[in-house]
Structure 1
Amino acid sequence: MESQGRRYAGEPDSTRAAGRRLRLLESGLELFGTRGYRATTVRELCSAARVSHRTFYQEFASTEDLLLAVYASCLDRLVEVVVAAIPLDAPDLTGTFCSGVDAFLSEIRADPRLARVVWFEVLGVSERVEAAYLGRMEEFTAFFGGLLDAWGLTFQVAPVTRTVILRMLTGGISHVSMVWVKQGFEEPQAQIAEAIVRLLQACAAMLVQLDETLPERPSE
């Protein structure tokens, strides 16, 4: 039999390493999402994850690297719950929007730590974190575009115009979510969801119906 590496208490090294990394991600979510990224030290992260400083630096070069990993895992969670909530047999696009938006908002509300990391703790950290933030926003823009494509909609706008409109949609939903979180979820979720669905409907209709030919600029 091929060697599977050293084992501790019946577990191979790879399993133990994966467990340590997962605990660090969980401690990062807990501390960054409650105390804040800038107020959290490596010592506190290691204590919460029950790992040594050496182990931390074997997994992450810095707390910023851990923040990026936690941020990515939070957004992956949001995408997963939205995709899982979208019915394969939805009778229309509105039904798809309603299911996805409700799942999105429910996940945010269920875990305020996730919301704080996604919309607050990654802001103003460094150019690298800003680039990661913008990159993920572009992924959500592409996600919305793919959703519309899946419904076979025919667009009457140029690709660049389409991308800009979808970016505005992404930014609008992100800002609404950010304010909702910051205000402690005061506004009823159903009303937030209805407004976002209406925005999605409006953007879809705009992309389908908008005439790319703009009126000529009056001569001076």
Structure 2
Amino acid sequence: MSAAERLADRRERLLNAAYSLFAHPGFHATTIERLCATARISNRAFYECFSSREDLMRAVYERCVEETLASVTQAIDKAPSTLDDRIVAGIAEYIRFVTKDVRRARVMHLEVRRAGDVLSGARQHTVGAFTKIIESSVGDGSDPSAPELHLLALGLIGAMTELLIEWVLASPPPPTEKLVEASVHIFRRTFTTPELSGSGHYAGRHDPS
């Protein structure tokens, strides 16, 4: 292999090692020495690929997010055009994709928080990306309730995050379909009224009864 190929190979091995080790035993319990031993590279080679353990964690987290965003976007694009169908498809795909591999769920919803302030920016960027997906699906950009829409979308993301943390930590974990049902219920109670749920637009404030 060329020097560039060797570097790319080492980087990929480190990413794979970190994906497993940062999920379990966890970010703080995983040393650079252990990462290098698992990836079968030297400590010196580590610093040719990443500047720090936090830098590697960021790369693992961002890869998880990119894969999840792509899967959710594809599911929404394939869904029927009604608001309810689009959001339900996105919610279901998000939860099923993230929980398909417990390592992904732990990295995205538990270890990224435990990593501390160094990854807070990456996490906020991710929350913003998923919030925009909801906003673009629910509103058409001209709704005068747009500021409220943003906060409601942010609240739905927060609710789903807490449900997934529960799935990661609970023993036994709740069935993923129950997580989907709960998230869909929150969405429907928050964003739609029965007569407008099929219109494809945000219904705005409504009687919650």
The answer to whether the superposition gives a TM-score over 0.5 is yes
| The 10-residue stretch of structure 1 (124-133 or 192-201) with the greater mean CA deviation from structure 2 | 124-133
Larger Rg: 1
RMSD: 2.2
- Residue type of the partner of 1:143? I
Give the match for residue 155 of structure 1: 143
**Structure showing the higher helix proportion among its residues:** 2
3-state secondary structure, aligned to 2:27? coil
- Residue type of the partner of 2:94? F
Pairing partner for 2:83 from 93, 113, 130: 93
* 1:189 pairs with 2:189: no
Contact 2:76 2:90 in 1 (8 A): yes
Deviation by residue 1:72-93 (Cα, 9 ceiling, x = unmatched): 1111121122122234351422
Q: 1:153–1:65: structure 2 CA closer, same or farther, 3 Å change rule?
A: closer
Alpha-carbon deviation of 1:59? 1.2
Paired residues, what number?
Answer: 198
* 1:20 pairs with 2:10: yes
* 1:208 pairs with 2:198: no
Distance in 1, matches of 2:39 and 2:160, equals 33
* 1:76 pairs with 2:66: yes
Give the match for residue 40 of structure 1: 30
* 1:129 pairs with 2:119: yes
- Residue type of the partner of 1:67? M
Which sections of structure 1, spanning at least 5 residues, go unmatched?
Answer: 1-7, 212-220
Contact 2:87 2:134 in 1 (8 A): no
Instruction: Output the TM-score relative to the length of structure 2.
Output: 0.84
Distance in 2, matches of 1:72 and 1:148, equals 25
Give the match for residue 94 of structure 2: 104
Alpha-carbon deviation of 1:124? 4.2
Contact 2:22 2:30 in 1 (8 A): yes
Which sections of structure 2, spanning at least 5 residues, go unmatched?
Answer: 194-201
Instruction: Output the TM-score relative to the length of structure 1.
Output: 0.80
Alpha-carbon deviation of 1:125? 3.1
Q: 1:96–1:185: structure 2 CA closer, same or farther, 3 Å change rule?
A: farther
Pairing partner for 1:165 from 152, 161, 178: 152
Give the match for residue 52 of structure 2: 62
Q: 1:89–1:105: structure 2 CA closer, same or farther, 3 Å change rule?
A: closer
Give the match for residue 214 of structure 1: none
Distance in 2, matches of 1:122 and 1:91, equals 34
Runs of 4+ aligned residues of structure 1 deviating over 3 Å after TM superposition are none
Distance in 1, matches of 2:11 and 2:104, equals 18
Contact 1:156 1:208 in 2 (8 A): no
Distance in 2, matches of 1:135 and 1:203, equals 23
Give the match for residue 103 of structure 2: 113
